[in-house]
Amino acid sequence: MSKLYQAVLRIDNLYASWLKVRESARSSKSAETKSQLAEIEANPLKYIKSVQLKLAKGTYQFSEPRGIVKKKPGKKPRPLMIATLRDRIVQRAILNVLQEEKKQPILKLLGKIPQTLRTPTSIGGVPGRGVNDAILQAHRHILEGASHFIKSDIKSFFTHVRQSEFIAFISEQTGDEKFCALLKSALTTELANRDDPDIIEFSHIFPDGDKGVAQGSSLSALAANLVLSRFDAITNDGEVLTLRYIDDFIMLSGNSGKLDHKFQLALNELKRLGMEAHVPGDGTDKAARGITVKGFDFLGFNVSTSGLAPSRKSIKRLDEKFTDLVIAGKKSVVSMQSASERRSEVAYIQSLTKIDNMLRGWGDAYRICNRRLEMSRFDQRVGELLRNYRHWFSEQIRDATSEQIMRMQGVALLRDTPHLKVD
């Protein structure tokens, strides 16, 4: 058995993968995922050992993922592929091996993979890096003299990543056929529900065979970063900085002619890979070019020589989420007026907690901003809307009984506690 394959099925690796998968599964609204989660949580170690045994015997079979078409008003539908929790554990275990950073015996078997993943201009999907790292790099480069920019987005990115390119890179670096065979199986994109009407209608946006990796798979970002490693190399030099966050990238330079040349190289490399990027002036907001002194939006931030701020689009999305939470809170408060038993709905107090958590999380994501005028303006809007919400709630409870008020506030009544019948 190959050493990389053995590293995948180590019990500590599989269990660490389970903990990571469990973290996201617990917040899932899918009944199927909740059912799988309950099965594993009944005895996690026993379950993990059963997976380990099948991997060791070479009898482990990946299930076909379930396709979901994610639709949002005004946006193109997104193809998501949902694997079973069991498969997600194994996929994560494979990822852990490929992203190993400390264990020298493993690192020696990975060839140039660790070095490639440390490429400083490739940000997304890399452990220890995030949006803030990309934004701070961009801002620093502007202050150092980058006067022009071009930003773009790779079209339908994940459905155009060639699995064969990814597997070939891993094979070249590791020379491990057994490990690569497992990796290839983990990338399966054949859908379990391919005959569903909704899937048939949107079949063209899902990965097909070698072409495409699953959105939602822990391996997809890694595959994308390794496939685009040559893109990262040829679009960066001493005069042009190209920062890429998965499928979004921005190019910065003090030389507009050099910038144009590098952008054309980027387009040529993407064409070689069977991909295409938006170009400035194509009628979408996916690409733009200009001078940095006027600022630009990238990854939810507005970046300029004067500093960093949330983009207007980000503020607008936050406003929509805030409004949705208030509306949901009002609906729940009204439903509690006639409640006669304990429920799990979000009433007044819980809606305020949700709003507070959302604002704290959003604020933390933008803590590097030093231009905070728009944030202050939004604070004023939140204050006014919460004042109105509080007034509305006061009107709702004016003629309510004390019990109704407690329920509408979101405070449980002891008398509403479900009765446990004991034989």
Confidence category of residue 198, pLDDT binned at 50, 70, 90: confident
Place of tokens 């970063």: 225
Structure confidence at residue 423 (pLDDT): 72
Burial of residue 372, with CB atoms counted within 10 A of its CB: 0-12 exposed, 13-18 middle, 19 or more buried:
middle
Confidence category of residue 35, pLDDT binned at 50, 70, 90: very high
Higher pLDDT, 384 or 75: 384
User: What percentage of the chain reaches a pLDDT higher than 70?
Assistant: 99
Sheet (strand 307-310) strand order = 296-298, 301-304, 307-310
Average pLDDT, the chain: 93
φ, ψ of residue 295 in degrees (nearest 5): 85, 165
Question: Taking the CB of residue 418, how many other CB atoms lie within 10 A of it?
Answer: 7
- Phi-psi bin for 381: left (phi > 0), alpha (psi -120 to 50), beta? alpha
Residue 1 above 70 pLDDT? no
Distance CA 294, CA 260 (A): 19
Prediction pTM value: 0.88
DSSP letter string over 55-66?
HHHT---PPPPE
Average pLDDT on 195-213 reads 87
Structure confidence at residue 146 (pLDDT): 96
Question: Residues near 75 by Cβ (< 8 Å), separated by ≥ 6?
Answer: none
Average pLDDT on 372-393 reads 95
Average pLDDT on 303-330 reads 95
Structure confidence at residue 23 (pLDDT): 93
Contact 189, 212 (CB under 8 A): yes
Dihedral over Cα of 289, 290, 291, 293: its sign:
negative
Which of 24-38, 104-118, 165-179, 335-349 is the least confident region?
A: 335-349
What are 248's strand-pairing partners? 153, 245
Contact 81, 66 (CB under 8 A): yes
Confidence category of residue 207, pLDDT binned at 50, 70, 90: confident
Which tokens sit at 70? 């994610």
Report pLDDT digits (tens) over 97-130: 999 988 899 999 999 999 999 999 999 988 889 9
Structure confidence at residue 189 (pLDDT): 86
User: What percentage of the chain reaches a pLDDT higher than 90?
Assistant: 77
Question: Residues near 314 by Cβ (< 8 Å), separated by ≥ 6?
Answer: 300, 301, 366
Which tokens sit at 264? 């054309």
Strands (E), 124-262: 148-153, 240-245, 248-253
Structure confidence at residue 230 (pLDDT): 95
Contact 339, 407 (CB under 8 A): yes
